[in-house]
A and B are shown apart, each in its own frame.
Chain A
Amino acid sequence: MTTLRKLLLPALALGLFTFTAPTFASGLFQDDEAKDEAQDEESEDGEAAADEDEGDKTFVIQGADIHTGTGAVLRGATLIAVNGKIDEIGYDLALPEDAEILDATGFRLYPGLVAVSSIGLFGGGSPIEDTVDPFSRTMTLAVAGGITSTVQGSEVAKLKRGHIKDIVIGSRPLQSMSYSKSSPAGKRSLREKFDGAAAYIREYKQWELDVRSNKDLKEPKKSGVDSGALSVLLGQARALFNADDRTDLLEIAKLAQRYEFRPVIDGCREGWTVAADLGRAGATAIITPRERRSQDESIMAEGGSSIENAAILYASGVDIAIIPGTKGVSLDGIAGRDIMHLPIEAAFAIRGGLPEDAALAAITTVPARLLGVSHRVGRIEVGMDADFIVTDGDVLHYATFVQWAVIDGEIIYDKEDEMYFAHIRPRPVTELAPVDPVDAGEADADVVEPPADEESDDEDADEEPGDEPDGSGDGEDGDDGGTASR
Chain B
Amino acid sequence: MILTSLILAASPALVPPPISDLYAIRARRAEIGNGEVLEHAVILVEDGKIVTIGEDLPIERGIPVIDLDDEYTLMPGLVNAYSRTGLSSQGYSDSRPYIKASFEVGLGASFKSAREAGVTTLGLYPAGRGIPGQAVAVHTAGGSDPILADSVYLKAIVANNSTAKRYIRDGFEKADENAKKEAANKEKYDKAKEKAEKEKDKDKKKAALDKLGEYEPHEPDPRGQVFQDMRDKKLSALFDLDDAAGYLHLIDALGKEKIDWALRLTLSQESNFYEVAEKIGETECRVMVGPFLTLHPGTLRQRNMPAELARAGAKLVFIPRNDSTGAHQTWLRDVGTMVAAGLDRSAAIQAMTLEPAKLMGVDDRVGSIEVGKDANFLIVNGDPFETATEVEAVIIHGDVVHGEIH
Contacts and interface: CB of A to CB of B under 8 A. Distances in A.
Interface of A: 123, 125-127, 129-137, 162-165, 419
Contacts of A131: 160-162, 249
B298 interface: yes
A163 B249 CA distance: 10
B161 A137 contact: no
A164 B243 contact: no
B272 interface: yes
Contact of A135 (B162, B165, B243): B243
A42 to B, nearest CB: 23
A126 B165 CA distance: 12
A135 B249 contact: no
Given A126-B162, A131-B160, A419 B298 contact: yes
A153 to B, nearest CB: 13
A183 to B, nearest CB: 35
Chain A, interface SS category: loop
10 contacts: A125-B160, A125-B161, A130-B252, A131-B249, A132-B245, A133-B243, A135-B245, A135-B275, A164-B248, A164-B249
Contacts, number: 42
Interface in B241-266: 243-245, 248-249, 252
B17 interface: no
B297 interface: yes
Report which residue of A123, A125, A131 has the largest number of chain B beta carbons within 10 angstroms of its beta carbon: A131
A63 B297 CA distance: 34
B250 to A, nearest CB: 10
A130 B244 contact: no
Contacts of B275: 135, 162
B160 A419 contact: no
A358 B218 CA distance: 67
A71 B34 CA distance: 66
A440 B249 CA distance: 37
In the complex, which range does the number of interface residues on chain B fall in? 10 to 19
Contacts of A419: 296, 298-299
Contacts of A130: 161-162, 165, 249, 252
B227 to A, nearest CB: 19
A95 B245 CA distance: 35
Interface string B296-313: 111100000000000000
A163 B299 CA distance: 24
Given A134-B245, A135-B243, A164-B248, 6 more contacts: A123-B160, A130-B249, A135-B272, A136-B245, A162-B275, A164-B245
Best-buried of A125, A135, A419 by chain B (most CB within 10 Å): A135
Interface in B212-263: 243-245, 248-249, 252
Interface string B189-219: 0000000000000000000000000000000
B159 to A, nearest CB: 9
Nearest to A164: B248
A441 B252 CA distance: 40
A137 B298 contact: yes
Contact of A164 (B161, B252, B297): B252
Contacts of B248: 134, 163-164
A53 to B, nearest CB: 15
B162 A127 contact: yes
Contacts of B299: 419
B319 to A, nearest CB: 24
A125 B161 CA distance: 7
A419 B296 CA distance: 10
A165 B253 CA distance: 11
A394 B160 CA distance: 37
A457 to B, nearest CB: 34
B298 to A, nearest CB: 6
Given A125-B161, A126-B162, A133 B252 contact: no
Contacts of A129: 252
Contacts of B249: 130-131, 164
Interface centre among A123, A125, A133 (most CB of B within 10 A): A133
Contacts of A134: 245, 248
Contacts of A165: 252
Interface string B110-128: 0000000000000000000
Contacts of B161: 125, 130-131
Contact of A137 (B160, B165, B252, B297): B297
A127 B252 CA distance: 14
Shortest Cβ-Cβ A-B pairs, 9 listed: A130-B162, A133-B245, A135-B275, A164-B248, A135-B244, A135-B272, A130-B165, A131-B161, A131-B162
B251 to A, nearest CB: 9
A241 B187 CA distance: 59
A12 B96 CA distance: 59
A56 B311 CA distance: 31
A132 B165 CA distance: 12
Contacts of A163: 248
A133 B160 contact: yes
Contacts of B297: 137
Interface string B272-294: 10010000000000000000000
Contacts of B298: 137, 419
Contact of B160 (A127, A132, A162): A132
B179 to A, nearest CB: 25
B100 to A, nearest CB: 29
A164 B298 CA distance: 24
A409 B341 CA distance: 38
B184 to A, nearest CB: 31
A221 B272 CA distance: 54
Contact of B162 (A125, A136, A137, A162): A125
Nearest to A162: B275
Nearest to B251: A164
B7 to A, nearest CB: 51
B116 to A, nearest CB: 41
A134 B165 CA distance: 16
Contacts of A135: 243-245, 272, 275
A135 B271 CA distance: 11
B271 to A, nearest CB: 11
A136 to B, nearest CB: 8
A127 B163 CA distance: 11
Contacts of B243: 133, 135
A125 B249 CA distance: 13
A133 B162 CA distance: 12
A432 to B, nearest CB: 25
Nearest to B163: A130
A126 B162 CA distance: 8
A162 B278 CA distance: 12
Nearest to B249: A164
A1 B365 CA distance: 82
A316 B210 CA distance: 89
A86 B283 CA distance: 33
B288 to A, nearest CB: 21
A137 B275 CA distance: 12
A131 B158 CA distance: 11
A191 to B, nearest CB: 38
A121 to B, nearest CB: 13
A80 B292 CA distance: 45
B16 to A, nearest CB: 52
B309 to A, nearest CB: 16
Nearest to B296: A419
A130 B249 CA distance: 7
Nearest to A139: B245
A134 B276 CA distance: 11
Contacts of B245: 123, 132-136, 164
